[in-house]
Chains A and B, each alone.
Chain A
């Protein structure tokens, strides 16, 4: 990491370091002056503390400066003969020991400080890396979620095409009828009006289907909004209706009217629902012994809205139930194994829960919760 530091700030930092030394040694000196009368020998321990503190807060240079200051003060004030820079022969060894100890204290303290600083820096660096990686992972996950969603939408192409083709057929046929009523003699204007009204209705219906599909494919950063779960379920089941019919599945919704709204991203919520519904349909592919049914229900329980997708498919054995939310776990021949794990992380990001259980009458139940609005926000 390159740091640009001006000369001024270098000088300032140097002075601050010396200041630390002056301050701590001064403090030690004052306290020693106070305490010295209590001891029959030179009381010098507080100076070690001052040296260590200087080295810790000011670095090695400040430590050495503190050693120098302390040595001078100690020699002048405390080593006999006091109040002179001369040293008596008996005090020489004692004074030398003081200097050595002070140097050692300075060195240990500054070395300690250095390694702690290095550790702190490493920690900071690590933290930055972790948050960078987390952001990358989140981005990848969003992209994967979109991809897996687009893939499952691909399976729906026929169903969507049907849903658009129906009103188009009606429009073309009503158009022909309109021409016939106009060419009658006299033209039957009442019938013409009826035909044109139906054309408007059917054209609008085709347009609405296209908007639904476009909304589903939209790739945008998630936006939380207050949503009506019933409406989201309805929008999706319209697109899935034909697919269900083609597979001989009775799809039915059991929605409680007037559910409280949930704070969620519409596209993500549809992704989760679509994933659960397609899974349910796939699970019933080889079922012949019982009626193929897919039931989507929504209700409110305590402070949550619970959405429930039930199928009468092959059900969940113990191993599957345990692994079903693990990424890349799949029971489908061409499955990628991401749908449910992505769905779970989407729901958890919405402060909800997603879980699976066996259906008592055969098949599986997938349920998720979303915190319900208390009515003050929507």
Chain B
């Protein structure tokens, strides 16, 4: 399956800056979509493709930094590249700690913007792959029966069948059968792989 074409969102209240950034990104072959305000961006139906957001810090109403918090709170993990004319250090570090890709000072150089955009898209791709993987794992997990789920939870902690049986009040043979089904349904080829799957699932509940 070919990768869907990524998109760069641009939010800046200044039409000149907005137009310039989108023109530059389009010149290097990227797809862009511009917004004059965070509200307009928020209302937009965003396509399910790798994307990143070029966000002005100083905006009328809520600032870019506040909008970053709003996105995090709503679980929207689009990578953000901040652009600002007033790059004071506390602001920068706050944004970076909250996961921003880059903090660019206006006027910025082409290479800095493009590098940041590429990094943002890469990070979004990785995130999308992880999300897809987790979604697939969750689908598999949903196929397990209650008992199989209990067996899996104990097996991945490193307990042997006998101990699992003792905990759950089952015979060792029964545990073995459940365990086989777990491995089959989760499509795990080894215990080590099953443990990794369990880790991923617990990291993304």
Interface residues in chain A, defined as those with a beta carbon under 8 Å from any beta carbon in chain B: 158, 161-162, 165-174, 176-177, 180-181, 184, 191, 194-195, 198, 201-202, 205, 242, 245-246, 250
C-alpha gap A166/B27 in the complex (Å) = 21
B14 surroundings in chain A (CB, below 8 A)? 166, 170
C-alpha gap A170/B83 in the complex (Å) = 12
Is B19 a contact partner of A170 (Cβ separation < 8 A)?
yes
B86 surroundings in chain A (CB, below 8 A)? 158, 162, 246
The 3 nearest A-B residue pairs measured at CB: A180-B27, A173-B20, A170-B16
B109 surroundings in chain A (CB, below 8 A)? 172, 176
Is A169 a contact partner of B85 (Cβ separation < 8 A)?
yes
Q: Which residue of B lies closest to A192 (CB)?
A: B27
Interface size bracket, B side: 20 to 34
C-alpha gap A177/B23 in the complex (Å) = 6
Within the complex, the shortest CB–CB distance from B86 to chain A, in Å, comes to: 7
Instruction: Choose one: B23, B26, B58, B106; the contact of A169 (CB below 8 Å).
Output: B106
A195 surroundings in chain B (CB, below 8 A)? 23
A173 surroundings in chain B (CB, below 8 A)? 17, 20-21, 23-24, 107-108, 110, 113
Instruction: Choose one: A172, A191, A205; the contact of B107 (CB below 8 Å).
Output: A172
**B60 within 8 Å of A by Cβ?**
yes
Is A245 a contact partner of B58 (Cβ separation < 8 A)?
yes
Task: Decide: A169 near B17, CB < 8 A? Known: A176-B110, A245-B60.
Answer: yes
B58 surroundings in chain A (CB, below 8 A)? 162, 242, 245-246
Is B85 a contact partner of A198 (Cβ separation < 8 A)?
no
C-alpha gap A173/B112 in the complex (Å) = 11
C-alpha gap A181/B85 in the complex (Å) = 26
Mark each residue of chain B from 4 to 36: 1 if its CB lies under 8 Å from any CB of chain A, else 0.
000000000010110111011011100000000
Within the complex, the shortest CB–CB distance from B52 to chain A, in Å, comes to: 17
B60 surroundings in chain A (CB, below 8 A)? 245, 250
New A-B pairs, 14, CB < 8 Å, besides A173-B23, A177-B24: A162-B86, A165-B107, A166-B85, A169-B17, A173-B21, A174-B20, A174-B24, A176-B27, A177-B20, A180-B28, A202-B20, A205-B16, A242-B58, A246-B58
Residues 36 to 90 of chain B near chain A (Cβ within 8 Å): 58-60, 83, 85-86
Residues 102 to 131 of chain B near chain A (Cβ within 8 Å): 106-110, 113
Within the complex, the shortest CB–CB distance from B108 to chain A, in Å, comes to: 7
Instruction: Choose one: B16, B83, B106, B113; the contact of A202 (CB below 8 Å).
Output: B16
Q: Which residue of A lies closest to B24 (CB)?
A: A177
A198 surroundings in chain B (CB, below 8 A)? 16, 19-20, 23
B108 surroundings in chain A (CB, below 8 A)? 169, 172-173
C-alpha gap A211/B58 in the complex (Å) = 24
C-alpha gap A195/B113 in the complex (Å) = 18
C-alpha gap A329/B26 in the complex (Å) = 57
A165 surroundings in chain B (CB, below 8 A)? 85, 106-107
Within the complex, the shortest CB–CB distance from B25 to chain A, in Å, comes to: 8
C-alpha gap A168/B111 in the complex (Å) = 17
Q: Which residue of A lies closest to B21 (CB)?
A: A173
C-alpha gap A162/B17 in the complex (Å) = 12
Is B16 a contact partner of A166 (Cβ separation < 8 A)?
yes
C-alpha gap A250/B21 in the complex (Å) = 27
Is A162 a contact partner of B85 (Cβ separation < 8 A)?
yes
C-alpha gap A162/B52 in the complex (Å) = 25
C-alpha gap A23/B61 in the complex (Å) = 93
**22 residue pairs bridging A and B, Cβ less than 8 Å apart:** A158-B86, A161-B85, A166-B16, A166-B17, A168-B107, A170-B14, A170-B17, A170-B19, A170-B20, A172-B107, A172-B108, A173-B20, A173-B107, A173-B108, A173-B113, A174-B19, A184-B27, A191-B26, A194-B23, A202-B16, A242-B58, A245-B58
